[in-house]
Chain A
Amino acid sequence: MDTTTLILEAKARFNHNATKAYLKEKYESKLIIAEQGGLWKADNITITLLSALTNERVVLIDTFGNPVEVNRQELFDSLSNTYNSVMQEWHAEWKNLEGNR
Chain B
Amino acid sequence: MIRGALLFAFNSGRYDYYRMAEETAKRINHFLNLPVTIVTDEKSRTSSTGYNFDKIIITEPDKNNLRDWGVWINKGRYQAFELSPYDETILVDTDYMINSNKLLKTFDVSIDFCCHDTTSFLMYPDAPQEILSAYSFKTLWATVVTFRKTKRAKQIFECLEMVQKNYDHYANIHSFVGGVYRNDYALTLALRIANGHTVLPGDIIPWNLVHVGKKTSVYKNSDLPFNTEYTVLFDNWRRGKIRKEYAIIKDMDFHVMNKDNFMELIL
Please report A residues at the B interface, Cβ cutoff 8 Å.
2-3, 6-7, 10-15, 17-19, 21-22, 25-26, 28-30, 32-34, 39, 41, 63-65, 93, 97, 100
Contact A3 B231 (CB under 8 A): yes
Residues of B within 8 A of A30 (CB): 102
Contacts of B208 in A (CB 8 A): 25, 29
Find out whether the CB atom of B245 lies under 8 angstroms from the CB atom of A15.
yes
Within 8 A of A (CB), among B105-125: 105, 108-109, 120, 122-125
Give every chain B residue within 8 A of A22 (Cβ-Cβ). 122, 247, 249, 252
Q: B residues within 8 A CB of A15? A: 123, 234, 236, 245-247
| Contact status A34-B108, CB under 8 Å | yes
Asked if A32 meets B201 with Cβ closer than 8 Å, knowing A18-B125, A18-B247, the reply is no
A29-B102 in contact (CB<8A): yes
Q: Does B248 contact A (CB under 8 A)?
A: yes
B55 CB within 8 Å of chain A: no
Q: Is B178 an interface residue (CB 8 A)?
A: no
20 chain-A/chain-B pairs, Cβ below 8 angstroms: A3-B219, A6-B231, A11-B244, A12-B244, A13-B245, A15-B123, A15-B245, A18-B245, A19-B247, A21-B125, A22-B122, A22-B249, A25-B207, A25-B210, A25-B252, A26-B249, A29-B207, A32-B207, A63-B201, A100-B248
CA of A29 to CA of B250, assembled, Å: 14
Nearest A-chain residue to B109, judged by Cβ: A39
Is the CB–CB distance between B243 and A13 below 8 Å? Answer: yes
Q: Contacts A13-B245, A15-B123, A15-B246 known; list 9 others, CB within 8 Å.
A: A3-B221, A14-B247, A18-B234, A21-B120, A25-B252, A30-B102, A32-B206, A65-B201, A100-B248
Residues of B near A41 (CB, < 8 A) are 206
Which partner residue on chain B sits nearest A96 by CB separation? B248
* Top 8 A-B residue pairs of the complex, sorted by shortest distance between their CB atoms: A34-B108, A29-B207, A21-B125, A12-B244, A3-B231, A15-B245, A12-B246, A64-B201
Known contacts A6-B233, A10-B244; A26/B252 CB under 8 A: yes
Instruction: List residues of chain A with CB within 8 A of the CB of B221.
Output: 2-3
Cβ contact within 8 Å between B206 and A13: no
The verdict on A17 contacting B246 (CB below 8 Å), with A7-B231, A29-B102, A32-B207 known, is no
**B231 to A, closest residue via Cβ:** A3
Residues from chain B with Cβ under 8 Å of A17 in the complex: 125
- Give the CA-CA distance A101 to B90 in the complex, in Å: 38
Whole-angstrom CA separation of A33 from B206 in the bound complex: 10
B175 to chain A, nearest CB (A): 31
Chain B residue nearest to A15 (CB atoms) is B245
**CA–CA, A63 and B206, complex, Å:** 8
Q: Does B130 reach chain A (CB closer than 8 Å)?
A: no
A34 to B124, CA, bound (A): 30
Q: Does B179 contact A (CB under 8 A)?
A: no
Looking at the assembled complex, report how far the CB atom of A2 sits from the nearest CB atom of chain B, in whole angstroms.
8
| B146-165 CB contacts (< 8 Å) to partner A | none
B87 CB, nearest partner CB in chain A, Å: 18
C-alpha gap A2/B219 in the complex (Å)? 9
CB within 8 Å of A: which B242-264 residues: 243-252
